[in-house]
Amino acid sequence: MLKPKRKISRRDIKKDPFLEFINDSQKWIKDRKKIIYQAVFGVIVVVAVTYFVSNNRISSGITGEALLGKALLSQDIGDVENAKFQLQTLIDDYDGTKAGIEGKYYLGKMSFDDGELESASENFNDYVKKGDNAILMTSAYKLLSEIALKNNNSEKAESYLQKGTKFAENTVYHQEMSLLLAKQLFENGKIDKAKKIVDNILKQEEILFSIKKTAEELKGRIEG
């Protein structure tokens, strides 16, 4: 005959380490229920906000790219003023996105082409602070050096060319930028540095005829 099950008293629970642990855990949770709910709610809020921000960034990026394309199309068809307006809107509304950052380069280039050097310089300098496109960075530094020369600041022009040459290292513009830097170094009286760059250019096997010709002419001037 089966013996009736003995009821477990609270006293017995305290004698069993495992059951005592369960009991204490339940009591701990009960005492801190409000704090636990708040913590769980906080985690849910953080996850939801992160998800929202991530989706919002993706959406902003897509919209920004579309606006950039529209602005460049306006430029291609000759509607420069409208292109500038669209780029400025892009920069104002989507600052921080890839398209918003690159918009500063294109607006700077349009201003440069129109002879608005102050505006061009401002936009180029804003672009190089955050840009990561090697070709656009190279071009921005090249144009900044030209603006510096127009403002009779040859040392600043040299500094911009130094930076531009570094960004051009893995692009087709590296030889051109190196040669421009060598020319500026020569003009600034830094003959040895200029000669070293020219010699390195002329040692390269794959070199455009125009680059080689200009480099040889510069070498002739350096060697006198």
pLDDT in tens, 24-59: 666 666 666 556 555 554 554 444 344 333 443 444
Domain's final residue, options 132, 150, 179: 132
Same domain, 94 and 168: no
- The verdict on residue 195 lying in a domain is yes
- CATH label of the domain that carries residue 168: 1.25.40.10
Same domain, 65 and 126: yes
Q: How much is the mean pLDDT over the chain?
A: 81
- The verdict on residue 198 lying in a domain is yes
Domain's final residue, options 77, 108, 132: 132
Number of domains in the chain: 2
Instruction: For residue range 97-119, list pLDDT tens digits in order.
Output: 899 999 999 999 999 999 999 99
* Residue-level pLDDT at 56: 39
Cα–Cα distance measured from residue 24 to residue 14, given in angstroms and rounded to the nearest whole number:
10
Q: In angstroms, how far is CA 132 from the centroid of its own chain?
A: 4
Same domain, 125 and 169: no
Question: Is the full-model pTM beyond 0.85?
Answer: no
Residue range(s) defining the domain that contains residue 102? 17-132
Domain's final residue, options 132, 167, 188: 132
- The verdict on residue 1 lying in a domain is no
Question: CB-side exposure of 93: number of CA atoms within 13 Å?
Answer: 16
Q: Do residues 195 and 160 make contact, with C-beta atoms less than 8 angstroms apart?
A: no
CA distances from 111 to 68, 83, 136 (A): 16, 11, 15
% of the chain at pLDDT higher than 70: 73
13 pLDDT band (50/70/90 cuts)? very low
Q: Do residues 20 and 14 make contact, with C-beta atoms less than 8 angstroms apart?
A: yes
65 pLDDT band (50/70/90 cuts)? confident
Which residues, 6+ apart, have CB-to-CB distance to 149 below 8 Å? 157
Same domain, 163 and 89: no
